[in-house]
A and B are shown apart, each in its own frame.
Chain A
Amino acid sequence: MLSDTETKLLGVMMMVIMLGMGASLTFKDFAIALRKPLGIFVGLLCQYGIMPLLAFLLAKALALPPAYAIGLILMGCMPGGTTSNIFTYFSKGTLSLSILMTMSSTLVAILMVPLTLAFYSSGIEGQWQIPRENVIQVLVLLLVPTVIGIALRKWNANVGAVIEMIGGLLGVLVILFLVGSWVPRNWQLLLATGLPVYAGSIGLGLAGFSLGYLLSRALKQDERRARTIALETGIQNGPLAVLIVLLSFSGTQQQEVLLIPVLYSLFIVLSSSAVTVWFRRITQREELARDTAKIGALARA
């Protein structure tokens, strides 16, 4: 459980993160992306097609009780996390695509999150349902800083770029903050938590990476873009889910629902780091192979 102050702090940090995300793109970037909508379409399909379904199926397969199931489904319905951009950068992926996917999934979140959430959680008992107004309220609240971010970028590129960077770093810090403030107080809970919850929390991200990759390859995206989409798909906006849970539940109920979003946020940082190192190696090998092919052509000459 988090205190009131911590919840407020989390809200403020989320706003800064969204400000940073907004500052990472210009209106022109959007306009250009919309000219070739396939990339955005693939992204949205992964984000709101694959992930919620995956979360739903995982919850079913692992026979999670409703408190955990709603946590997992909520996690699956979230838009892309801003940390995906950092991981994409480190993994030498296509940064512009990653930013664009995060941004577009966040912008349509107002529509898509309530829809998918209602659909996949319809079988869950009423007391565990997340009120639609809460979801919409949080999302609207976060859209404001996003739009301000875009405007700041346009107003002054230096301010925009600095905010973008602060937002990105804060994205990682928030997760560390969540984990740091939550884990010590709940270690007993962690010990008592069964394997299925862990499997769901970790599996959502890992399966998201794999399916995102496969789907984008099937839709004829090249390997580098597919790796970018994979990261983007697997990495959800964890802190956003935490915020929604905090606003929707209280007491022990809150604590229970919160478990999976927090665990997901913790493990996604670890699994993304591993995947990033792996992708980075692949990209470097590809680059090296291309260079060698060129040098080889010269050497043969």
Chain B
Amino acid sequence: MRILVVEDERKVARALQEGLEGEGYAVAVAADGEEGFRLARREAVDLVLLDLALPKRDGIDLLAALRRQDKLLPVLILTARDAVEDRVLGLDSGADDYLVKPFTFPELLARIRALLRRGHPDPVLELKHEDLHLDLATRKVARGDHSMELTGKEFEILECLLRHRGRTVSRDMLASHVWHVTARATPLDNVIDVTMVRLRRKIDDPFEKKLLHTVRGLGFVLGERRP
């Protein structure tokens, strides 16, 4: 999978490149809009990460040009502009997703995976990891033979963690996936931490092997972290 990063901030571009290469993606970096457009046309690219404020050619402009060439190429906008109008403009111009800076890397990875997976939905009814089972139809959760009662939010958190098992899930991801809140000036971080403590009490505390881990500064991970 080849990802084109169009980002003029050198430090951010390099961090993105290293992070994505670490995840096994091939990465091309363009420092301005013109170069971005050239690379997108010349190389076979599976996904574009696009900054909006770019030298030479504005991101929205580039996006429109890309859309005229290839209707299906997934484009994820990364920008510091987070007013609702900006989001609407970005998505109206043909972007598939929108992530506001500063974002956490795990969330970016999750969105990239979701965009690359698009068109191949997985009809999963049951999620499991080691002895932990989660039945999406009956909403039953069990570890081995011990079934447990989870609240709605706890269940959804666990589902989110299981879907991304082995990968870090950030608090921002949980806020938008579980609480459906994208506004950031909310006291939701504390709620997430407390809910996580309770979830851990139920699925980890009574057992020898711990499944849920906190990744300091990033979020949470279920199972062993993939290198």
* B partners with A: no
List residues of chain B with CB under 8 Å of any chain A CB. Answer: none
